[in-house]
Amino acid sequence: MIEDIKVVFEKDPAAKNIFEVLLYQGLWAVWVHRAAHRLYKWRIPFLPRLISQIMRLLTLIEIHPGARIGRRFFIDHGNGVVIGETAVIGDDVMIYQGVSLAGTGKEKGKRHPTIGNNVVIGAGAIVLGNITVGDNARIGAGAVVTKPVPPDATVVGNPAWVMRLEGRRLDPLEHGALPDPVHQVIDDLNKRLQELEKKLR
């Protein structure tokens, strides 16, 4: 619990004192999930799911008791976050409001994403299916990810494109610095069009 509190101070510039941090809904959702997950692993029926649903009503964050979550996991703001039953989240992961780690279809078994260590997932991003997001990856706000993400990659867009900014590592909080793949393609097409026009002249 002390680790969880420390990580809030490290990652949220708005965190000013311990009393404010203890009011964070993401913190409460993670703490209660850990208790529900333990009951789930002990195969206690009904109670883990009841606990998770009560927390969903109180925090607007839905974490299935079956999800496995690593250390120092931080949910910033948190409204609308959904984490599915077979999701696996590594250490030092940070996600923002509206993120879904969801399944596809009605398949049994592992059907939710596996998120590596030190990953940041931007607001409103959706990660679907039994895919892996590699360590140190960055998923931009609003991205829809349906394919595996390699380590140290930045993905943006819908559907998500793997992007890197000339090898420069992005600050995980600089969402405005993420590239726009659609504009990049349009710029490339525009340059080619100008070259063709020159040749025709």
Give the domain ranges of the chain: 2-200
| Secondary structure class of 68 (helix, strand, coil) | strand
Question: For 152, which DSSP code?
Answer: T
pTM given for the model:
0.78
Asked if 130 and 110 count as a contact pair (C-beta separation under 8 A), the reply is yes
Tokens found for residue 184: 């990049």
pLDDT band at residue 174 using 50, 70 and 90 as cut-offs: low
* Strand partners of residue 82: 62, 100
pLDDT digit string, tens, across residues 70-97: 999 999 988 999 999 999 999 999 999 9
Per-residue pLDDT band for 178 (boundaries 50, 70, 90) equals: low
The confidence score (pLDDT) of residue 23 equals 83
At 52 the three-state DSSP class reads: helix
Q: What is the arithmetic mean of pLDDT over 118-142?
A: 93
Computed over its alpha carbons, how large is the radius of gyration of the chain? 19
Burial class (CB in 10 A: 0-12, 13-18, 19+), 146: middle
2-200 — its CATH code? 2.160.10.10
